[in-house]
Structure formats: C-alpha cells, structure tokens
Chains A and B, each alone.
Chain A
Amino acid sequence: MASKAKRALTGALIALTLAVTMTGCWDNQPLNTRTLVLAMGFYPGPKPGTVQVDFAYPTPSGLASSNPTSGSGGSSSTPSFGTLTGIGSTLAEAFSAAQAKTSHDLYLGHTVLLVFSTQLKPTELKRLTDALNRIGTLDKTPFVAASPAPFDKVVGVKMPQEEFPSLYYEQLFSCTTCSQLTLGLRLWQMMERLVTPGVDLVLPVLTPTPEGPAVDRVAIYHKFQYATTLTPKQTTAYGIAAGLSKKTGVYLPRYWQADFNAVSDTSTVSARTQGGSVDATVALKVTATLQSLSTGTESAHQLSVLSKQLSKILAGEVLQFLDTTQKNDTDVLGVGRSLSWSNPQTFSAIPSWHAEYPKVHFTVKCMVTINKMGDIK
C-alpha cells in the first residue's frame, strides 16, 4: 500500500514537472499584442554608418478587410497597413528603435519581402545580410528586391489587385508565369550568391509607377557593391541568358511578320581554361510558340529560317548583355562558380576572379524549338 502511494506521488511529481516545463506557453502571445511584420526595407541612415530599417505591417482594419469571411471589412478611410521606422548602426539597434515606438511585439516570423535600397554602401549591405542570416525567427524564405525609391513609395504605391503591397510582391514572385521573367529571389538564394566566389548578386528592382508597381528591371552588384540597374531590354536579355524567361515575346517583321510568344528557355553555363584565358559557353535551349505569320500557314522552309533568325537574335542580345556585365565587372551568370565546380584547382589558382571576369571569352549557343501552330489562318 505504501509503495502504491509512493508510486502515485512520484507520478504526480513527474506530471507536475512536465506540466510546468512542457507547456511551451512562455512564448505564446495573443495575436492582438503582436505586430506581424510583412515587409522590411533597408536604407542608408541620415548619418554616415547608420541604417534606416522600415517595418511594414497590416493594421487591424487592414487584416479585417483582407479576410473575405469578415463581411464588409474595415472602412476605407483607415489605412490597411502601417510602417515603423528605426535608425541605428546595426540591424539590432534599428530594430530596438522601431520596437520602442510600438506597444506591440514586433514579430518577424511572417516577413515575406525584404527591400534593399540601391544606395546602400557595400559595408552596410554586408552587415545587414549577416545580421539577417542570424535572426532565428526570420525564415530564409522572404523574397528580396532592390529599389531606388523610398520604402513608403514601394509599399505605398496603389496595388492593382492586392490590399497588402508585400503580399502582392510575394504572389508575383512565387508565380513563375505571372510575369515575363521569373525574377523572384529568396533570402537564402541571395546569401548563396553573396558568399559563393565566382558569382554576383542580381536583385529584381521594384519601381513604383502611378498605375502600380513595375518589376521589369534588375539591379546588378559587384560583390556587395551596387553596380547598375539594367534597362528593361537588358533585363530581358539577362532573363534569357539565365534561363528565367517564361513569356518573352519576339516579333520578326522582316520574316513574314512572324510573331512569337511564350519564349521560354533553360540555360547552362560552362567554363574552361584554354591557353591561360577562360572560355565560357552559355548554352540556351529556347522554346517559342509561333503566334502569327503573314502567310497564314508555315512551311518547313519558313520554320527553318525563323528558327535560325530567332536564335541569331537571341544569341546577339545575350552577347550584348554579357558585354555589359563585363564592363561592370559583375559575373551574374556565375561563370566563375561554374569553373570552380568543374575545375576547382584552376579556379583557386586565379588570384582575383573579378580581375579575370572582364577578360572571359564568351560563346553563346542557342537552340530554338518552335511550337508549330498548324493552320493559323
């Protein structure tokens, strides 16, 4: 009997200890005491060496109006999202400064977009990305983008479909066929580009326009240093060179007014050394759909001419784009990375890849497959 009581006592003791230690309630916070940050913006601070970090979050009325089950939702007079700003020499300092301005817990676990100003200095960008990598609650999946415009303009621009700007961008980047090129880049992919030798960073640029945001350009970087923003035409060439093209259209007015849409491709970059210099080959496999032709129906001869012309045009565009990257000394296709994987000893023998990249000799091979439409009268 005594032993039974002892057993029961031990059991109760264990149950009690488990109840205390296993609750997991230490971190449990009601949602209305939390500010769920959806987007963060990183800009140079007012004083040298400082950074300004903006935190965009949905307001309660914004949350209510985005929820279809909540009826009419919040009134249109109240804004659907708010922004908090913190300034400091590190991300942690800026975070504390922003946290001081709210009575809610600033929570980063739901962040979906990070916007880096193109004016950030390389040291600032490095410090910020290092710090972002260390935040445990921040997932590695937010999309990253660059913008020359202030954060308020980027997230404040009127969105064509979505209530929350950051969710609009997240949907745009997640969907591979929602834009001409799939430019979406996640935080971990940015990290991979920043730490791996022989490849440079490319970030999609968010440009606010009165009709809504435009995402048709990319910013290219030299290590952590912003180099330049490509024009939409160069960006298309980048998309084709990197195998990101999904819906590019090409019009050949001199060849039976052939109109192609859905030009999509895959790209393989390979590199080898020959006689002390690096030769790189960009092999493109392009698929294009013939949309219209002045003769109505295509012949085998026409297809062969069109395929030849299309590959010539695309290869020319890509070569021109590669020339731009060599002038800016940014290896956005990862020629060095490819060399380091295929031939690690040769790559490590090169003292500085950035000194080598402008001298790389490029060959672009382009193979076009045309999806025939049959009778397209």
Chain B
Amino acid sequence: MFGNKMPRISAGQFATMITAGYAGLGIFYFPRPLVEEAGRAGLYGFWLDALAAFLLMRLTFRMDRLVPNETFSRFAALLLSKPVGYLLGLYTIVYHLLLAISATVLFSLVLGNIFLPSTPIWAIDGALTLTAAYMAWNGVASLARTLQASYIPLLVLTMLSITLAAVSIRHASLLVPSPDVQVTPLLKGVYHQFLIFIGFQLSVTLYPFVRAEERTRAERYSYFALAGIVLALTLQYEVIMAVFGPVLTSEIRWPLVSAYRIISVSGFYISKLGALLILLWTTVVVAFVAVRLWCLTHDLSVFFKDLVGIRYDVGLLIMSLLSIGGSLLFPNAKVADIFNERFLVPFGLGYLTVIPAIVLIAAKLRPRRVLDLKTLSEKGPEL
C-alpha cells in the first residue's frame, strides 16, 4: 500500500497523461506512411490502427489491474523472477528514452526548418527537453494538472485549425476513401502508421498513482480520450487528403505541418495564421516528453533501488540530459524516420503485445504469488 503522502491523480488526469503519452510521436508525418502504402484507402488503415490500439490498451490495463498498487517495474521482478524483471525494467527504460528522443528530434527538426533556421538544433532540443523536465519537476500530480490545463485550449485550436484548413478543400470526392482496397499495402501502411499510437504503455507505471476508487473510471476515460484522438486525426486525415490529394500527401515532408502552412487568412492581423498554429503542437510534443521523463525517472529509481537511491529531481535531470544527448545523434529527419520505422514500431508493438501476454500467463500460473503481491506493503520513498 502506498503511504498517505503519495500524490494521487484523478481519473481525468490519468486519461490526459495516457493520451499525452502517445499522440505526440509521428504526428508531423501523419498520415504519410498510410497514404504512401495504401493510397486513398488509407483511412481504413488508420481505423485498423485505432482498433489495434484500443485492444492493446485493454490488454495493458488488464495487466495493470493484476497488482494495481505496484508499478510494473516493481511487480515484474517479483512475479517473473529477478533476471526477467531486470530485463523488462531495462527494456522499459531504454524504450521510453528512445521515444522521448525521437519525439524531440522530430519536433526540433520541424521547428528548425521552418522558424529557426539559424538556431542550432541542440538548442531547440535542449529547450524542449528542459521545458518538459520543468513540467515534470514537481511530480505526477502537478504534471497531470498542467497537462489538463493545456489540452483544452489545444483541442479548441485544433478544431479551429482543421476548419480553417478545410476551406482549402477543392476535391470533395477525396473525402470518401477508395473502395479499391489492396490488403498487403494496407497492412504495411497500418504497421508503419502505428507509430502514432505507441506510447500508452506508460500506464504500467502510472496506474498505481490513480486514486483506488477512480481506477475503473480512469480506464474508461482513457478509452474516451482515444476515441477523441481518433476522431481528431480522422478529421486531419480527411482534410489533408482532400486538400493535397494522395500523390502530394505522400511526397511532402511533413503533411500535417504543410496542411497548417496553407492556412492563410486574408485581412486577418496575421495573414499566415497557419505558421502560428503549428506552434500549438509544441504543447503536444512537450507533454509527450514530459510524461515520458516522469515515467523514466520513476522506472530508473525502481531499477537501481537495490544498489543506490536516486532522488526524483536528480533522476529527472539525468534522464533529461540523456535525452538531449541522444537527440544530438540524429543528423536529419530521414535518419529519424528510418529509426522510427525500423526500431520504434517493432519494439513498441513487441512491448505492447508480448509483455502483457507473458505477465498474464505467469499470473494465471502463479495465482498465490499475485495475491501476495496485491497485499504487499509499500515502504519506499515518495516518487
């Protein structure tokens, strides 16, 4: 059991953090991987991705419910033996770190290319990561509140920008996805596009922080938020497709950014309003990195618990610096793209499918152990 001092978050805050944990990565490429492979039938692929995300989220929550008061990094070692636990802990840390790095790289390249051509990329990487670290500085409760406060204006502005971009639709027939579906290219597109849903595995760390009585509601809210994200991205997809057409969409570097950049409101104070609206996506990316850094720091201290006690703020700084350092290794957007496709998608999908499967099977085989873990008392420091 957690001590009374342990900060707890509400169901809504949990859902916000889980949502912030995935929608950030690959957002600027969206929906290029799908359209490149599946052409005008890409929308079906996106919905397939969404369905897969929903099912995997259910699976992950089911695993979380096994030992609701312990984070995954803790109970994995106790349930599956120490070596396996350590291995999974290491996997979690490395994978979250890579996700944070990838999101930072992508955003700083977009920002550097469009707005700040003379600013060195490391400065943008650094600013973004340190802002995220600052958001996560005071722990999970304040991070969750900050995200809650920033996501609602973001939602309003997103809807506004979709509406503004929709004015440029010239070929309404493109809004209807093509009935001509070819299975292999579609599945390839689905696989590459799944990047946009990767990241909600942070629920394995976050789950115990939700107030016990609100956990079922927290899960339900997360599904609602997923539905909201799917709706928003479907609208984005439709607008991008109907404005640019399938060929240009697969040829432009960052379709979402380009869609914003065609927004031009004549007579408005800022005629190139779209360029301004791109900046609102900073919130999404910073949130993505912030929740990741919090999660990383938590997992890091659990991982080294037996060797050395790491204070939360020190851990956060270490992880931020590692993330900045990792970001500097990416020379350009193409390398980041290849990295995402070759490593982040397969390892992310692996994480989301294999780990819950192993844990749930192990739990079935060792029901007594699970019962013991459920009643294990928490004596560790506040995280």
Contact = CB atoms under 8 A, between A and B. Distances in A.
Are chains A and B native binding partners rather than an unrelated pairing?
A: yes
Interface of A: 10, 14, 17-18, 21-22, 24, 26-27, 109, 133, 136-137, 139-141, 171, 174-175, 186, 188-189, 191-192, 195-197, 337, 341-342, 344-345
Contacts of B244: 188, 192
How would you classify the secondary structure of chain B's contact residues: helix, strand, loop or mixed? Answer: helix
How would you classify the secondary structure of chain A's contact residues: helix, strand, loop or mixed? Answer: helix
B174 A137 contact: no
A22 B264 CA distance: 28
Interface residues of B, number: 41
A353 B119 CA distance: 46
B108 to A, nearest CB: 11
B130 A141 contact: no
Given A137-B117, A188-B244, A188-B258, 15 more contacts: A17-B130, A22-B130, A24-B119, A26-B120, A27-B117, A137-B114, A139-B274, A174-B266, A186-B264, A191-B248, A195-B247, A195-B248, A195-B251, A341-B173, A344-B178
Contacts of B174: 341
B127 A192 contact: no
Contacts of A24: 116, 119, 127
B199 interface: no
Contacts of A341: 40, 171, 173-174, 178
B247 A196 contact: yes
B114 A136 contact: yes
Given A27-B115, A139-B275, A191-B248, A345 B130 contact: no
B178 A18 contact: no
Given A27-B118, A196-B245, A196-B248, A18 B131 contact: yes
B8 interface: no
Contacts of B245: 192, 196, 337
B118 A26 contact: yes
Contacts, number: 89
A18 to B, nearest CB: 5
B39 A344 contact: yes
A49 B156 CA distance: 50
Contacts of A342: 173
A3 to B, nearest CB: 10
Closest 5 CB pairs of A and B: A136-B113, A26-B119, A21-B126, A21-B127, A141-B264
Contacts of A14: 130, 133-134, 137, 317
Contacts of B272: 109, 139, 141
B313 interface: yes
B262 interface: yes
B123 interface: yes
Given A139-B275, A195-B251, A21 B130 contact: yes
Contacts of A109: 272
B180 interface: yes
Nearest to B112: A136
Contacts of B134: 14, 18
A165 to B, nearest CB: 17
